[in-house]
A and B are shown apart, each in its own frame.
Chain A
Amino acid sequence: MKKKSGVNIPQNMLLKMYTTLVRIREFEEKVAELVSKKEIICPCHLYIGEEAVATGICSTLRKDDYVFSTHRSHGHYIAKGGDINTLMAELYGKANGCSKGKGGSMHLASPKMGLPGSAPIVAGTIPLAVGAALAFSIQKKDAVSVSFFGDGATNEGVFYESLNFAALKKLPVIFVCENNLYSTHLPVSRCLSDTMIYKKADGFGMPGIRVDGNDVIKVFNLAKEAVENARDGNGPTLIECMTYRWCGHVGPSYDLDKGLRSKEELDYWMNRCPIKLLDKFLLKHNILSESEKMQISKDIKKEIEKSVVFAKESPYPDEDKLLDDVFSGVKT
């Protein structure tokens, strides 16, 4: 059934995705500010510019579907429904952070919402997603598992091992490559002999598709199909989302002075801002009015200000918690 926008996505889902995009953006911009002020110390790899990937993919998932994330994990956490207050508290290193102040920005977890964790070892979480999918298949659950990783991760051997095993066993896992064109400082063309990452799926007899990762509608539609396919027992899909991180590899700076990329390149991608793209679409189809848009922005800003207050007012972990949580079932 076509909606009035001409796409197969219900209006409330479009609005929900718009809100999520804005929430991630506003959150990250606030974090950028707090990192600059040195209120947040732990290294933060910001997701600004890439919001449509996490949003489009996670909007097709259920709560019991698993997502595994990377060093650039704030967007995935938010898109999967993780609590903003405890996220901010984690970045502040506070005791009631989402990982009790033990993880920081690179180890966000929200097990209740289907995010068992994130890890910055490049490609390290890809086989974990495969394993969760293996568990679902043994348990006869129809849940799926999603692995988010960057273009850099496709240079790691374990990426290929994981794709092979998932395809071999037809596991319900979606491999989502966030191709932001840079592996820290190196452009993707200096890392990969063939930069068409989606084509690597061919070698495993798995569907591989490249999509405009800044177009949340396209990402959503593609993800929906891949997720349904996986749920139906037809195995994994590799989705390559072409996107761009506005900031440098880590921290709030655009790093234009480092000579790694041009201002023109950044401008091109800022002009293709995922929020702007959806915004335009929603306004054009009268799904969102200017005043509703203002209201969403205002509400989210308030929500994020509250999370900062929550984080600041939260206590630091007691020093005697240092040795806790090494082993489950063992109290020190």
Chain B
Amino acid sequence: MRKISYVKAINETLRQMIETDKNVFLIGQGVTSPWYVGATTVGLIDRFGSERIIDTPVSENGISGAAVGAALAGMRPILMHPRMDFMYYAMDQIANQAANWYYMSGGQVNVPLTIWAIINRGGEQAAQHSQALQAMFMHIPGLKVVMPSTPYDAKGLLVASVKDDNPVVYIDDRWLYNHVGEVPEELYSVPIGKGIVRRKGKDVTVVATSYMVHEAVKSAEELEKEGIDVEIIDLRSIKPLDEKLLFNSIKKTGRLVVVDAGWKTCGVGAEISALAASNVFNYLKAPIIRVSLPDTPAPASSPLERAYYPTSDDIVSAVKSRFTEE
């Protein structure tokens, strides 16, 4: 099959979705900028014009509201936030309006909106240019949250998000943009709410999200040398979450390591740990452990940054610690 980059997969999907559905349009800061969103939006403005590729002023709250309003009037907007840090400005429109509208209207008026949120970290960008807010969105009833880790899923989950009748927060990490993988040319959906086993193993379950799936794969190669057989689950959707896949794996391995590059407290790992503890406690042979960001803002200086972001080494240590505690 054809191999393309993650960034190309997003670009192609945007083009195909806008081409095939007259209700789809792209709106956000920098969608015509050469550097804001990598190469994900390259060429779209030339193809579709400014009516459906809407570059916007720096007004996160107002523009997010406009996207929600357009969805209420029959469109399927893709609202792009080039940095998650700035989304706090838009929380009213996302959490109060988009997420609640269907419920508040007694199931009469839905919000078919894709909120494309980019994690743009590293490079000494510090506390306000680095955030990964998946847990915050996962907390809110009425929002779905997906985090594709491969070019294939980047396309399939973007299609599924746009086709979904609800607000979906589609989170990608720019560290994934140059990853290359098999991607069919035609449109296809990856179902929201379904995880996938990236590596089969029998000793320990490593559940990971987004970029951390690749770090988990690296760690598994390392651990294999030491005789530890790791099963890796890529959640793909953190809400709804594929509980069955998760529980079945834990029942098999008896050990759980949760890896998510968001903050620790009330993070994705906390939720998964609670789910596991509440549902498959009796299968656990060791306490659950989380690999996450520490509960601190992102630093600037490179050495501090290196210490801040978890890597495969942290996963290796976390996994090993599950075998030494008894």
Show the binding face of A for B, using Cβ within 8 Å.
Answer: 66, 68, 97-103, 107, 109, 111, 116-117, 119, 121, 124-139, 145, 157-158, 161-162, 164-165, 168, 324-329
Contact = CB atoms under 8 A, between A and B. Distances in A.
A166 B104 CA distance: 26
Among B72, B97, B107, B112, residue most surrounded by chain A Cβ atoms (within 10 Å): B72
Contacts of B109: 109, 111, 116-117
B166 A329 contact: yes
Given A102-B106, A329-B165, A134 B142 contact: no
B107 A165 contact: no
Interface string B124-167: 00000000000000000110100000000000000000001110
Contacts of B56: 165
A325 B66 contact: no
Given A99-B104, A124-B96, 13 more contacts: A98-B106, A99-B106, A100-B108, A117-B109, A127-B63, A127-B68, A128-B72, A131-B66, A138-B70, A161-B57, A162-B62, A327-B165, A328-B166
Contacts of B104: 99, 102-103, 107, 109, 117, 119
Nearest to B75: A135
B6 interface: no
B64 to A, nearest CB: 7
A325 B66 CA distance: 23
B62 A124 contact: no
B70 A134 contact: yes
6 contacts: A107-B104, A121-B92, A131-B65, A139-B73, A165-B66, A325-B106
A131 B102 contact: no
A162 B64 CA distance: 10
Contacts of B25: 138
A38 B132 CA distance: 46
A132 B106 contact: no
B263 interface: no
Interface string B47-71: 0000110101101011111111111
Contacts of B105: 99, 102-103, 107, 109, 111, 116-117
A99 B101 CA distance: 11
Contacts of B59: 161, 164-165
B70 A135 contact: yes
Contacts of A326: 102-103, 141-142
A83 to B, nearest CB: 13
B110 A328 contact: yes
A168 B57 contact: yes
A100 B102 contact: no
A157 B51 CA distance: 25
Among B68, B73, B102, B109, residue most surrounded by chain A Cβ atoms (within 10 Å): B73
A328 B96 CA distance: 17
B102 A328 contact: yes
Contacts of B66: 127-128, 130-131, 134, 162, 165
Interface in B260-283: none
Contact of B65 (A117, A127, A325): A127
A327 B142 contact: yes
B47 to A, nearest CB: 16
B63 A165 contact: yes
Given A102-B104, A326-B103, A328-B107, A165 B141 contact: no
A175 B177 CA distance: 41
The 3 A-B residue pairs with the shortest CB-CB distance, nearest first, are A131-B69, A127-B65, A100-B106
Nearest to A112: B108
A192 B137 CA distance: 34
A74 B57 CA distance: 34
B103 A102 contact: yes
A158 B65 CA distance: 9
Contacts of A101: 106
A329 B65 CA distance: 23
Contact of A127 (B69, B71, B110, B142): B69
Nearest to A131: B69
Interface in B86-115: 92-93, 96-97, 101-110, 112
